[in-house]
Amino acid sequence: MRPTYELLVRGNNLRLKNDFLGMSNVTLIGSSAGWILFDTGGYISRLGLLKALHEKGLKTSDIRHVFLSHLHFDHSHNIDLFLHAKIFVSRVEWEYAEAPHPDDVLIPWGIRDLLSKADLVLLEDEGELADGIFYFPAPGHTPGCYALRLETDHRGTVIIAGDAIKYAKEAILRTCDMAFDTIEVGTRSIERILTEADRIVPGHFPELIKQPNGQFSWEDSAPFELLVR
């Protein structure tokens, strides 16, 4: 079975004057190993994630595997909904969360304690998660960031990048914008993704599609519906 994918929760790169909303993309992957969820989003997306699963006829218990790109709150907060699943995160990220960069205040309190109760798989190097689905290190934003490469039937090579490529700016400028590792390391990860991918699912932006000239652009918008009650 070749992998399929769709965005369950659509993130964006909106921010406030002195903060950011932290709405990340959450991707559902169909695979030979069953349903895989790439990231779980933050609390701001908790109800939307549950609603999206319900609309697909799925329960949280139907998700057999969760792949966490890294352990920042906006990508891992809702992991408590999936503690029955096998959870994948890189060993480097696991160790980084114990002693993060002094300026990195985005690791949620208690995340290691929570994950230690789960069926946790610590990834190293590169490998194959399921048929046509490959994981690889994409450090920069954090030292332990990982991404997935999907070899699909109809969309070519799709890389679900997490925050290795957060938004279009990084793909256009080919430079890492926010690094708790180093800008240089993050830029090398971006270059690899841009070289290998036909499509990219960023951490906080609509899907990027490679154009005939080799540049990446996007077709979808990222709507932000704000209701006042």
Distance CA 27, CA 39 (A): 7
User: According to the model, what pLDDT value does residue 54 have?
Assistant: 98
Distance CA 40, CA 25 (A): 8
**Region at 121 (left for phi over 0; alpha for psi -120 to 50; beta for the rest):** beta
User: According to the model, what pLDDT value does residue 21 have?
Assistant: 87
User: According to the model, what pLDDT value does residue 115 have?
Assistant: 97
Flag residues of the chain having pLDDT under 50.
Answer: none
DSSP-H helix ranges across the chain:
46-55, 73-76, 91-96, 111-116, 168-173, 183-196
User: According to the model, what pLDDT value does residue 223 have?
Assistant: 81
The contacts of residue 65 (CB under 8 Å, 6+ apart) are: 33, 34, 35, 36, 37, 85, 86, 87, 88, 129
| Residue 126 β-bridge partners | none
SS3 call for 110: coil
Distance CA 123, CA 137 (A): 9
User: pLDDT for 115-154, tens place per residue?
Assistant: 999 999 999 999 999 999 999 999 999 999 999 999 999 9
User: According to the model, what pLDDT value does residue 169 have?
Assistant: 96
User: According to the model, what pLDDT value does residue 158 have?
Assistant: 98
User: According to the model, what pLDDT value does residue 58 have?
Assistant: 98
Q: Dihedral of CA 99/139/156/202: which sign?
A: positive
Task: Check if the beta carbon of residue 138 is closer than 8 Å to that of residue 170.
Answer: no
User: According to the model, what pLDDT value does residue 120 have?
Assistant: 98
Distance CA 22, CA 167 (A): 12
Distance CA 229, CA 210 (A): 41
User: According to the model, what pLDDT value does residue 3 have?
Assistant: 97
User: According to the model, what pLDDT value does residue 59 have?
Assistant: 97
User: According to the model, what pLDDT value does residue 20 have?
Assistant: 84
User: According to the model, what pLDDT value does residue 56 have?
Assistant: 97
User: According to the model, what pLDDT value does residue 210 have?
Assistant: 97
SS3 call for 20: strand
Distance CA 178, CA 20 (A): 13
| Residue 27 β-bridge partners | 7, 38
Gyration radius from the chain CA atoms: 16
What domains can be seen in the chain, in order of their start residue? 4-218 (3.60.15.10)
- Other C-beta atoms closer than 10 Å to the C-beta of 61 total 10
User: pLDDT for 64-77, tens place per residue?
Assistant: 999 999 999 999 99
